[in-house]
Chain A
Amino acid sequence: DVKVTQSSRYLVKRTGEKVFLECVQDMDHENMFWYRQDPGLGLRLIYFSYDVKMKEKGDIPEGYSVSREKKERFSLILESASTNQTSMYLCASSLYGNRPNEQFFGPGTRLTVL
């Protein structure tokens, strides 16, 4: 079974704090993704990565950065958290291939910024 784990299920931070969200997958997937999920907006892609040390902006990268130092780990960083970054954050991974492959999701981190 593919397993995608996220470091925290719930997180509460203060405005201006630096926040790290960690994601680890155990299936040797090349692709990893960070989404945020908000009511009525569905899942929106923040950043993704095809390989170690490689990153690409998604649709809403502003206010976020990412790090992929190892293949199995993809970190999302909020340099200075703001209240509008309160959301559910979902990490996903998939195999690289000629055909777009299904993404396996972690359980999510619900972040509240006060």
Chain B
Amino acid sequence: GQQLNQSPQSMFIQEGEDVSMNCTSSSIFNTWLWYKQDPGEGPVLLIALYKAGELTSNGRLTAQFGITRKDSFLNISASIPSDVGIYFCAGHSPNTGNQFYFGTGTSLTVIP
């Protein structure tokens, strides 16, 4: 299957700090999604990106669809304890029908 590299694998930050994570693929994607998974729950969609260069915000979260179409970035500003969880990127390639490929996840811990 398609390989998505997500980094960093884990982060430990102080409350109030900003967070950045990214995802890269070996091929071009036409859609990027960012999900958050709380402990013991299924992933929930945060942001969807459909166009190269697109920058979209959802509250304190901002995500960007890379110009090369092979990467995407998620930033969280002024982190709070409830930001704790695993963040996944997911990408869709024109050649894969309705299938999305998921990154390996970034585990975020926020220290109060």
Residues of A within 8 A of B (CB): 4, 9, 31, 35, 40-45, 48, 50, 56, 58-59, 90, 92, 94, 96, 99-108
Of the candidates A48, A90, A94, which one forms a contact with B43 in the assembled complex, judged by CB atoms under 8 Å apart? A90
Bound state CA distance, A103 and B19, in angstroms? 25
Contact A108 B41, beta carbon cutoff 8 Å: yes
Bound state CA distance, A99 and B4, in angstroms? 20
Contacts of A90 in B (CB 8 A): 42-43
Contact A94 B98, beta carbon cutoff 8 Å: yes
Q: Which of B44-52, B58-66, B74-82 lies at the interface with chain A? A: B44-52
Q: Interface on chain B toward A: helix, strand, loop, or mixed SS? A: loop
Q: A102-B45, A105-B44 are in contact. Are A43 and B102 (CB under 8 A)?
A: yes
Beyond contacts A42-B6, A102-B45, A103-B45: 14 other A-B pairs, Cβ-Cβ < 8 A, are: A4-B42, A43-B90, A43-B102, A45-B1, A48-B99, A56-B97, A92-B42, A99-B50, A100-B30, A100-B98, A100-B100, A101-B98, A102-B33, A103-B33
Contact B42 A43, beta carbon cutoff 8 Å: no
Q: A40-B104, A44-B1 are in contact. Are A96 and B40 (CB under 8 A)?
A: no
Contact B48 A102, beta carbon cutoff 8 Å: yes
Assess whether B73 is interfacial by the CB under 8 Å rule: no
